[in-house]
């Protein structure tokens, strides 16, 4: 009869050293033997020996040793993906057990725009409906690798095809011009797309969110305008919206994000032109993270939460 101890011996036979795996994961995550050694509190030579032993036991190279840098090989990437996922699950179990179910935080990673416009106006309803959930928000400028972050759910905009987690559709999106009521009243002649190309446009760096900007928006609607002249360019979408509310011009409005501003009248649509984009918003649960009841509640709330009255 096979016992639990037999299984443990089997793992030890297949995995030569858990210490080597921990040190390999740190090197792969930090991209440096020196930084890994500093994090682990050991010497660089000790880390190098552990990784070398791991490579010899597997019979493959895990890193390409380049001039002043290292890079994971294909085999190294495969091992790192498996080790990072396993360590996340172990860390999550320790966190869950040490803090207690009732006190555990759910970490939600979003861009600044999604947090500012979609989450924060509604967070009071989450507390009212689900007081057992303790939410912690972490803001990311770019879509980061979930294997390197301790998050329970990340919000991403795209096609839903990411290798580091399970994607759950939240909602689609459409984009149209918005302005303040005061700007609209002061500029009554903006009625067509051609009129819009000559308006005071407010732009933002689309790369920071992975979104399209004015040039792409016009092109998608079949308009090839002359070189656009912007009243203001912003690095962040949140700044572009703030400038628009202050009457500085016209910005692209992402409907799902700006529902609060549109329903309150702080912003209004300008022209009937709209673009329904192919990408959408997804909640992504990292590989190795359990989709618990609390995680499902959070995702359902993110998808369906109404604005407080």
Residues 294 and 157 in one domain: yes
Residues 246 and 269 in one domain: yes
Is residue 122 one of the residues assigned to a domain?
Answer: yes
Is residue 14 one of the residues assigned to a domain?
Answer: yes
Domain coverage including residue 122: 100-172+279-304
Instruction: Flag whether pLDDT at 142 surpasses 70.
Output: no
Torsion angle of C-alpha atoms 154, 155, 160, 164, degrees rounded to 10: -20
CA distances from 301 to 112, 118, 130, 138, 305 (A): 19, 11, 10, 18, 5
The residues, any chain, with a CB within 8 Å of residue 278's CB and separated by 6 or more, are: 159
Is residue 231 one of the residues assigned to a domain?
Answer: yes
Strand 105-110 with 153-158, pairing: parallel
Residues 294 and 204 in one domain: no
Report the domain count for the chain: 3
Is residue 212 one of the residues assigned to a domain?
Answer: yes
Residues 204 and 130 in one domain: no
Is residue 65 one of the residues assigned to a domain?
Answer: yes
Name the domain boundary from 96, 130, 152.
96
Query: Tens of pLDDT along 1-42?
Result: 444 344 444 555 667 678 888 888 889 888 888 998 888 888
Is residue 137 one of the residues assigned to a domain?
Answer: yes
Per cent of the chain over pLDDT 90 is 37
Name the domain boundary from 81, 96, 111.
96
Cα–Cα distance for residue pair 230/208, rounded to 1 Å? 19
Query: Tens of pLDDT along 103-121?
Result: 568 889 998 889 999 999 9
Cα–Cα distance for residue pair 178/258, rounded to 1 Å? 10
Q: What is the CATH number of the domain that holds 153?
A: 3.40.190.10
Residues 112 and 59 in one domain: no
Name the domain boundary from 79, 96, 113.
96
Residues 231 and 255 in one domain: yes
Q: Could you give the angle at which helices 18-30 and 33-40 cross, rounded to 10 degrees?
A: 120
Query: Tens of pLDDT along 290-309?
Result: 888 999 999 999 998 665 55
Residues 85 and 114 in one domain: no
Is residue 309 one of the residues assigned to a domain?
Answer: no
Query: Tens of pLDDT along 193-203?
Result: 999 999 999 99
* Prediction pTM value: 0.65
CA distances from 156 to 112, 143, 299 (A): 12, 7, 13
The residues, any chain, with a CB within 8 Å of residue 85's CB and separated by 6 or more, are: 147, 287, 288
Residues 161 and 285 in one domain: yes
Backbone conformation region of residue 227, classed left if phi is above 0, alpha if psi is from -120 to 50, else beta:
beta
Strand 268-269 with 201-204, pairing: unpaired
Cα–Cα distance for residue pair 123/117, rounded to 1 Å? 11
Residues 12 and 80 in one domain: yes
Q: What is the CATH number of the domain that holds 57?
A: 1.10.10.10
Residues 167 and 187 in one domain: no
Residues 22 and 78 in one domain: yes
Q: Name the residue among 270, 256, 267, 277 with its Cα closest to residue 212.
A: 277
The residues, any chain, with a CB within 8 Å of residue 114's CB and separated by 6 or more, are: 155, 257, 281
Cα–Cα distance for residue pair 221/196, rounded to 1 Å? 13
Residues 186 and 268 in one domain: yes
Quick one: which H or E segment has residue 109? strand 105-110
Query: Tens of pLDDT along 239-298?
Result: 999 999 999 999 999 999 999 999 999 999 999 999 999 999 999 998 888 888 999 999
Strand 251-254 with 174-179, pairing: antiparallel
Average pLDDT over residues 43-70: 88
């Amino acid at each position: 009869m096979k016992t639990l101890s037999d299984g443990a011996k089997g793992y030890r036979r297949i995995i030569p050293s858990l210490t080597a795996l921990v040190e390999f994961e740190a090197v792969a995550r930090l991209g440096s033997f020196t930084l890994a050694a500093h994090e682990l509190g050991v010497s660089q030579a000790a880390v190098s020996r552990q990784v070398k032993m791991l490579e010899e036991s597997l019979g493959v190279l895990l890193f390409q040793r380049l001039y002043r840098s290292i890079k994971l090989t294909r085999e190294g990437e495969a091992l790192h993906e498996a080790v990072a996922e396993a360590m996340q699950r172990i860390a999550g179990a320790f966190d869950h057990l040490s803090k207690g179910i009732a006190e555990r935080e759910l970490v939600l990673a979003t861009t600044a725009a999604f947090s500012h416009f979609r989450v924060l106006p509604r967070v009071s309803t989450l507390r009212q409906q689900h007081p057992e959930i303790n939410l912690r928000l972490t803001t990311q400028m770019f879509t980061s690798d979930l294997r390197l972050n301790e998050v329970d759910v990340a919000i991403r905009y795209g096609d839903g095809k990411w290798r580091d987690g399970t994607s759950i559709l939240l909602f689609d999106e459409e984009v149209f011009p918005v302005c303040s009521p005061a700007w609209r009243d002061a500029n009554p002649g903006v009625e067509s797309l051609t009129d819009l190309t000559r308006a005071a446009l407010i732009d933002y760096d689309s790369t920071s969110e992975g979104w399209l900007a004015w040039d792409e928006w016009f092109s998608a609607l079949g308009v090839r305008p002359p070189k656009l002249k912007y009243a203001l360019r912003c690095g962040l979408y949140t700044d572009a919206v703030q400038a628009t509310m202050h009457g500085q011009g016209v910005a692209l409005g992402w409907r799902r994000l700006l529902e609060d501003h549109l329903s309150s009248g702080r912003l209004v649509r300008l022209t009937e032109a709209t673009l329904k984009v192919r990408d959408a918003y997804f909640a992504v649960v990292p590989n190795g993270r359990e989709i618990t009841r609390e995680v499902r509640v959070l995702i359902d709330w993110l998808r369906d939460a109404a604005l407080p009255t």
